[in-house]
Amino acid sequence: MPGFGHAMIDHFTTPFGRRSLTAAQIQAQAKAAACPPETTADKWAVVRHVSTARCELGLADRAIAILSALVSFHPETNLQAGEGAQLVVFPSNAQIRLRAHGIAETTLRYHLGALVEAGILIRRDSPNGKRYARKGQGGEIAEAFGFDLTPLVARAAEFAAIADRIAAAERAERLAKERVSLKRRDLRKLIEWAAEAGAAGPWGALSRQLEDLIDGFPRRPSGEALATMDAALGSLLTEAHKHLDVVAESTIHDGNASETRRHHHNSKPETVRIEHTNGGSPEEPVAPQDREGRAGSTYPLPMVIEACPDIVDYARGGVRTWGDLIDAAELVRGMLGISPTAWREARDAMGPETAAVTVAAILQRAEHIRSPGGYLRSLVERKRGGLFSLGPVLQALLRARDPATMHAGRDKFGVPRPSGVPSMAPRRAGG
- C-alpha 30/C-alpha 3 separation (Å) is 10
Lowest mean pLDDT among 118-132, 182-196, 235-249: 235-249
- Taken in order 20, 22, 25, 26, is the CA torsion positive or negative? positive
Predicted confidence at residue 267, as pLDDT, reads 38
Burial (CB count within 10 angstroms: exposed 0-12, middle 13-18, buried 19+), residue 218: exposed
Predicted confidence at residue 401, as pLDDT, reads 53
Predicted confidence at residue 156, as pLDDT, reads 93
Q: What percent of the chain has pLDDT above 90?
A: 27
pLDDT above 90: residue 294 = no
Burial (CB count within 10 angstroms: exposed 0-12, middle 13-18, buried 19+), residue 68: middle
The predicted-structure confidence for 173-186, as pLDDT tens digits, reads as follows: 899 889 988 988 88
Q: pLDDT: is 398 or 7 the higher one?
A: 398
The predicted-structure confidence for 276-285, as pLDDT tens digits, reads as follows: 333 333 333 3
Lowest mean pLDDT among 145-159, 221-235, 413-427: 413-427
pLDDT above 60: residue 407 = no
> Domain 23-154 belongs to what architecture?
Orthogonal Bundle (1.10)
CA-to-CA separations, 265 to 138, 254, 262, 350, in angstroms, rounded: 105, 17, 5, 32
The predicted-structure confidence for 85-116, as pLDDT tens digits, reads as follows: 788 999 999 999 999 988 899 999 999 999 99
pLDDT above 80: residue 172 = yes
Phi, psi at residue 277, to the nearest 5°? -120, 15
Please give the average per-residue pLDDT across 155-166, as a whole number.
Answer: 94
Predicted confidence at residue 197, as pLDDT, reads 76
Q: pLDDT: is 289 or 166 the higher one?
A: 166
- Where does the pLDDT of residue 35 fall: very low under 50, low under 70, confident under 90, or very high at 90 and above? confident
Burial (CB count within 10 angstroms: exposed 0-12, middle 13-18, buried 19+), residue 28: buried
Please give the average per-residue pLDDT across 53-75, as a whole number.
Answer: 93
Q: pLDDT: is 329 or 299 the higher one?
A: 329
- C-alpha 412/C-alpha 362 separation (Å) is 9
Closest CA to 175 of 226, 234, 233, 218: 226
CA–CA–CA angle 353, 356, 361 (5° rounding): 125
Lowest mean pLDDT among 145-149, 160-164, 226-230, 255-259: 255-259
- C-alpha 226/C-alpha 69 separation (Å) is 39
Predicted confidence at residue 266, as pLDDT, reads 43
pLDDT above 90: residue 72 = yes
Predicted confidence at residue 10, as pLDDT, reads 59
Predicted confidence at residue 9, as pLDDT, reads 56
Residues 6+ apart with CB under 8 A from 53: 159, 162, 163, 166
Lowest mean pLDDT among 302-316, 350-364, 407-421: 407-421
Q: How many CB atoms lie within 10 A of CB 20?
A: 8
- Where does the pLDDT of residue 59 fall: very low under 50, low under 70, confident under 90, or very high at 90 and above? very high
Closest CA to 329 of 321, 37, 26, 201: 321
- C-alpha 146/C-alpha 91 separation (Å) is 7
- Where does the pLDDT of residue 51 fall: very low under 50, low under 70, confident under 90, or very high at 90 and above? very high
- What one-character DSSP code corresponds to residue 415? P
- C-alpha 390/C-alpha 350 separation (Å) is 10
Closest CA to 423 of 390, 382, 365, 366: 382
Q: Which residues of 362-396 are buried (b: 16+ CB within 10 A; e: fewer)?
A: bbbbeebbeebbebbbbbbebbeeeebebeebbeb
Q: pLDDT: is 418 or 59 the higher one?
A: 59
Q: pLDDT: is 4 or 115 the higher one?
A: 115
N- to C-terminal Cα separation, the chain: 80
Average pLDDT over all residues of the chain: 77
- C-alpha 290/C-alpha 270 separation (Å) is 12
- Where does the pLDDT of residue 159 fall: very low under 50, low under 70, confident under 90, or very high at 90 and above? very high
pLDDT above 60: residue 272 = no
Please give the average per-residue pLDDT across 363-369, as a whole number.
Answer: 87
Type and span of the H or E element at 117? helix 105-117
CA 379 to chain centre: 27
Lowest mean pLDDT among 24-33, 225-234, 266-275, 411-420: 266-275
- C-alpha 216/C-alpha 184 separation (Å) is 13
